[in-house]
Amino acid sequence: MDITGSDQKLRNLFHKYYVNEDLEPPDLLPSREIGYIPFSGTMSRHRRIQSAKELKYFVANAVPRHLYYSTSYYRKPDEKKMQDKEWLGAELIFDLDADHIKGAESMTYVQILEEVKKHTIRLIENFLMGDLGIKESELKLYFSGGRGYHVHVLSEKVYGLNSDSRREITDFIRGENLTAQGMISAVTSAKLVGGWPKRVDEYVTNFFRSLPREKDPAMEVLKKIFTNASSARSFFEHIEKPSKMGNRTMKRIDILSNGGIEKYKILGEDDRGLRMLSYLINETRENMSSEIDDPVTTDVHRLIRFPGSLHGKTGLRVIGVKIADLPTFEPLVSAIPESFRSGAARIYSEKEFSLDMNRQSFHIEIGEQEIPLYAAVFLCASKRALLI
């Protein structure tokens, strides 16, 4: 069985899905540009679809490997040139996947999905609903069908934002432009009320509370931060010395371990403290930011995966997820299309590997074997096996 024959079988399965499935049209569907990638050929876009009925007819005939719609609203979405479409506004979109997750290259697919989920929860709870005050009712969340999630903000407050304004939001979420001097300025200006300054402050406090008070164990920690043992020793000796805090005299390490803002006077005294604060800011950013794909958010003409469509590299559905359900959501269970859940299919693989899906583990051997249809679709779509 060649690749072409396998792809045709996959297309037939996608066709069956689209004939029987009613997709979820986005609001103001006639104002959206529709695009798709077929099973053979290149991307086709600049289409306009007027209704759910027309949409069903279109996907059943086109059988897209990937189906997209514009996050923007246009007066003339089917015009070929962007300037002729007459842009009316755009949703604020966040795309989270494995591309920007540290260490993703050494993770399994299951581990990647779990890690991206953590970043998605952080984005929604800490930044969108927390710092930016976006209401849960203004958010729509979708599993992308691939390796992550799409978060849509649907609000009059965001529709008219240009690319620069959206970039400011992504920079904020990623913790860009945080500096030691900026943190100290925020504190001295009495601006330490929330957002990143509060996150940094909590991280700084917890770090010094957990720093060993004995010299040798403390040095083991500090040597990982400073460039050499001499600098680490110098910093440790510095924070062991007393300093005045109000009417009291305390060791600097005790002031640094305190939850108040006095610690920044100590950290701002010299380059040693500023270097330490810079390190802790970077650690805060790495542990508390949300890894988002900036170009997706900043592009006001972006196409995004169509809800209910199939992802052409997995055969999984682009499925809506309730925010409250996200912590326990299992994409490799819930995103399997109903039409692929029953039945089996034969595949051919040139490699031996394992596959975890639908709470089951499959051992894929070299050669031919029969496995559940949904697993066969997944492996064929991801180019790891052929349908025979």
Residues 160, 187, single domain; the answer is no
Using the predicted structure, report yes or no on whether residue 2 has a pLDDT greater than 80.
no
Of 164, 171, 201, 293, the catalytic one is 293
Which string of DSSP letters, residue by residue, matches 53-96?
HHHHHHHHHH--SEEEEESEEESSTT-SSHHHH-EEEE-EEEEE
Residues 298, 359, single domain; the answer is no
Residues 44, 191, single domain; the answer is no
**Strand-pair partners of 142:** 150, 320
Using the predicted structure, report yes or no on whether residue 170 has a pLDDT greater than 70.
yes
Higher-confidence residue of 177 and 299: namely: 299
pLDDT value for 40: 92
pLDDT value for 238: 94
Check if 356 is active-site: no
Separation CA 259–CA 248 (nearest Å): 16
Residues 154, 199, single domain; the answer is no
Of 7, 95, 201, 294, the catalytic one is 95
Last residue of a domain, one of 288, 309, 328: 288
What is the tens place of the pLDDT at every residue in 313-368? 999 999 999 999 999 999 999 999 999 999 999 999 999 999 999 999 999 999 99
Separation CA 347–CA 388 (nearest Å): 5
List phi, psi (to 5°) of 24: -95, 100
Residues 206, 261, single domain; the answer is yes
- Lowest average pLDDT, out of 107-121, 254-268, 317-331, goes to 254-268
Separation CA 58–CA 70 (nearest Å): 17
Return the structure tokens found at 388. Answer: 């025979």
**Which is it for the CA torsion 303, 308, 309, 310, positive or negative?**
positive
Separation CA 328–CA 344 (nearest Å): 28
Using the predicted structure, report yes or no on whether residue 164 has a pLDDT greater than 80.
yes
Residues 56, 130, single domain; the answer is yes
Residues 330, 358, single domain; the answer is no
Beta pairing class for 66-70 and 34-37 = antiparallel
What is the tens place of the pLDDT at every residue in 198-242? 899 999 999 999 999 999 999 999 999 998 899 999 999 999 999
Residues 64, 141, single domain; the answer is yes
pLDDT value for 225: 95
Is residue 4 within 8 Å of residue 12, measured between CB atoms?
Answer: no
What is the tens place of the pLDDT at every residue in 30-66? 999 999 999 999 999 999 999 999 999 999 999 999 9
Check if 97 is active-site: yes
Residues 63, 150, single domain; the answer is yes
Separation CA 94–CA 246 (nearest Å): 46
> What separation in angstroms does the CA of 268 have from each of 37, 205, 263, 380, 383?
55, 15, 9, 58, 55
pTM exceeding the 0.85 threshold for the entire prediction: yes
Which string of DSSP letters, residue by residue, matches 162-180?
-HHHHHHHHHHHHTTT--H
Is residue 39 within 8 Å of residue 77, measured between CB atoms?
Answer: no
Check if 164 is active-site: no
CB burial of residue 80 (10 Å; 0-12, 13-18, 19+): exposed
pLDDT value for 1: 46
Residues 45, 157, single domain; the answer is yes
Separation CA 183–CA 278 (nearest Å): 9
pLDDT value for 190: 62
% of the chain surpassing 70 pLDDT: 98
Mean pLDDT of the chain: 95
Q: Residue 193's pLDDT band (boundaries 50, 70, 90)?
A: low
SS3 content of the chain, % helix, strand, coil (to 5): 45, 20, 35
Last residue of a domain, one of 320, 336, 352: 336
Tokens 């939001």 belong to which residue?
Answer: 169
**Strand-pair partners of 141:** 151
Averaged over 133-137, what is the pLDDT? 97
Last residue of a domain, one of 288, 311, 327: 288
> What separation in angstroms does the CA of 269 have from each of 184, 227, 239, 272?
11, 19, 11, 8
Of 7, 97, 201, 294, the catalytic one is 97
Domain of 109: which CATH number? 3.90.920.10
% of the chain surpassing 90 pLDDT: 87
Domain of 355: which CATH number? 3.40.5
pLDDT value for 192: 55
Q: Which domain holds residue 192?
A: 180-288
Residues 37, 77, single domain; the answer is yes
Q: How many domains does the chain have?
A: 3
**CA of residue 256 relative to chain centroid, distance:** 34
Residues 162, 302, single domain; the answer is yes
> What separation in angstroms does the CA of 205 have from each of 34, 181, 199, 215, 274?
50, 17, 10, 19, 15
